[in-house]
């Protein structure tokens, strides 16, 4: 049996973090949840196990979602890891900026749990195809 894909969730709201964690674990993913951008960067730097996808909120303590994304895109080993924004903001300018900076997907809250799972799965499939091509 193949190992479950590992997802890093960056979310400062406890209930929201628990909800997303539940939804994705329920769909068979393995999850690590950190509450802010600085903890995310520390986790990424210290992490031995590979992370297949990052889900991040936009507004976070210490380092916001933009800064985490910029950091990920500046490190060679993390450049191709899919980053999905799951955020309260549905501003056009935020959506455009997320894709400009290299995000792979953007989902606003309130969201459909099945849609989140489908989008995550889609990103992981694309990532796997990129690796094999």
CB 18 within 8 A of CB 47: no
Rounded to a whole number of angstroms, the minimum distance from the CB of residue 129 to another protein is 28
Residue 22 in the binding site for another protein (CB under 8 A) = yes
Question: Taken in order 110, 116, 118, 122, is the CA torsion positive or negative?
Answer: positive
Tell me whether residue 30 or residue 108 sits nearer to another protein (CB atom): 108
Residue from 6, 12, 23, 89 binding another protein (CB under 8 A): 23
Q: How far is residue 109's CA from residue 20's CA, in Å, rounded to a whole number?
A: 11
**Piece in contact with another protein (CB under 8 A), picked from 2-10, 48-56, 77-85, 95-103:** 95-103
Which residue among 38, 73, 97, 122 contacts another protein (CB under 8 A)? 97
Under the criterion CB under 8 A, does residue 92 sit at the interface with another protein? no
Positive/negative CA dihedral, 24, 116, 98, 89: negative
- The secondary structure of 53-69 as a DSSP string is EEEE-SS-SSS-HHHHH
Of residues 48 and 92, the one with the C-beta less far from another protein: 92
């Amino acid at each position: 049996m193949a190992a479950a894909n590992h997802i890093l969730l960056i979310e400062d709201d406890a209930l929201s973090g628990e909800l997303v964690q539940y939804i994705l674990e329920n769909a068979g993913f393995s999850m690590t949840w950190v509450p802010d951008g600085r903890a995310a960067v520390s986790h990424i730097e210290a992490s031995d196990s590979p992370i297949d996808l990052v889900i991040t909120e936009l507004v976070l303590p210490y380092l916001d979602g933009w800064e985490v994304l910029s950091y990920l895109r500046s490190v060679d080993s993390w450049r191709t890891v899919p980053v999905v924004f799951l955020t309260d903001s549905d501003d056009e300018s935020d959506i455009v900026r997320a894709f400009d900076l290299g995000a792979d997907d953007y989902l606003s809250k309130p969201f459909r749990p099945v849609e989140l799972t489908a989008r995550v799965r889609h990103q992981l499939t694309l990532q796997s195809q990129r690796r094999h091509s």
